[in-house]
């Protein structure tokens, strides 16, 4: 039996390329061992069949950004557990191949309260991270809020402009009734607990909060608990 060696060494010898190129092929998800994609260069192999995908490239894989339809009650820790292949949205049109490295060193940006549901963002892309950290406050977010109670007189004008939350004058918002128990908020720079506070100031209680959109990126028809990639051409 052949003495086991590292996969990157075997690939380098088989393809007559450098070890660094072999590692790039492997980490890019282009190498299969007995028909199974292996992304770790240090994997030990011996007599297995090693194949390179026809479209294989040594170009570094793009950093990934995930869009998730967060269920109500899901904590930040539980959110990461949703990033399983079984939960990928069947209609994900990004065309991005799922790689093991995509699920490492992810930041949770513009988070929702644990009790809220809807669109959230996890990213390892420094460009997305910087944009949302620096410009996130200027991006309009869309929410639907299920409410109970009787609104006070002039509730809508007060919600739209003039409230102060934790010492901060809230930016003007576009708010409308979607039904007798549902409000739609189109609002910028939303802070934790803010929507609940706004409702409480006009005699309403926010029972459920769901975020539908951040900037130009929306949930579309993605079911709760599922995720998709943000494609290169999509911008917040």
Instruction: Check residue 27 and give its pLDDT.
Output: 78
* Burial label, 81 (beta-carbon count in 10 A; 0-12, 13-18, 19+): exposed
* Res. 29: pLDDT tops 80: no
**Is 116:206 a contact under the CB 8 Å cutoff?**
no
Residue among 154, 139, 165 nearest 217 (CA): 139
Q: In this model, does residue 1 exceed pLDDT 60?
A: no
Q: Which of 41-50, 63-72, 134-143, 150-159 has the lowest mean pLDDT?
A: 41-50
Q: Provide the token pair at 136.
A: 């996130």
CA distance linking residue 210 with residue 117, whole number of Å: 5
Check pLDDT > 90 for residue 65: yes
Sign of the dihedral through C-alpha 228, 234, 235, 236: negative
Stretch 208-224: mean pLDDT, rounded?
Answer: 95
**62 vs 205, residue with greater confidence:** 205
Q: What mean pLDDT is predicted for residues 54-66? A: 81
For residues 88 and 92, give the distance between their C-alpha atoms in angstroms, rounded to a whole number: 7
Percent of the chain at pLDDT > 70 equals 99
The domains found in the chain, sorted by start residue, are 5-52 (3.10.290.10), 65-136+217-229 (3.30.70.580), 140-214 (3.30.70.1560)
How many Å apart are CA 205 and CA 145, to the nearest integer? Answer: 10
**What pLDDT, in 10s, does the model give residues 74-101?**
998 899 999 998 999 999 999 888 888 8
H-run or E-run covering 230? none
Average pLDDT estimate for 112-137: 94
Looking at residue 5, its pLDDT comes to 85
pLDDT tens digit string along 138-194?
A: 999 999 999 999 999 888 999 998 899 998 999 899 999 999 899 999 999 999 899
């Amino acid at each position: 039996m052949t003495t086991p060696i590292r996969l990157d060494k075997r690939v380098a010898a088989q393809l007559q390329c450098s070890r660094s190129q072999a590692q790039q092929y492997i980490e890019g998800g282009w190498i299969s061992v007995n028909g199974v994609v292996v992304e770790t260069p240090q994997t030990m192999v011996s007599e297995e069949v090693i194949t390179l995908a026809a479209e294989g490239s040594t170009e570094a894989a793009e950093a990934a950004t995930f869009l998730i339809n967060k269920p109500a009650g899901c904590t930040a820790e539980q959110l990461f557990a949703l990033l399983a292949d079984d939960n990928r949205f069947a209609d994900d049109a990004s065309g991005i191949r799922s790689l093991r490295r995509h699920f490492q060193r992810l930041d949770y940006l513009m988070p929702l309260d644990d009790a809220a549901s809807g669109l959230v963002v996890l990213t390892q892309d420094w460009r997305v991270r910087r944009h949302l950290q620096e410009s996130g406050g200027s991006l309009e977010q869309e929410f639907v809020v299920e409410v109970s109670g009787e609104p006070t007189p002039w509730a809508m004008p007060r919600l739209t402009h003039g409230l102060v939350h934790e010492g901060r004058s809230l930016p003007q918002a576009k708010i409308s009734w979607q039904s007798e128990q549902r409000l739609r908020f189109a609002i910028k720079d939303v802070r934790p607990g803010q929507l609940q506070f706004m409702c409480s100031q006009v005699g309403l209680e926010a029972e459920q909060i769901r975020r539908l959109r951040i900037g130009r990126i929306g949930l579309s028809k993605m079911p709760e608990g599922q995720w998709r990639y943000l494609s290169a051409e999509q911008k917040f």
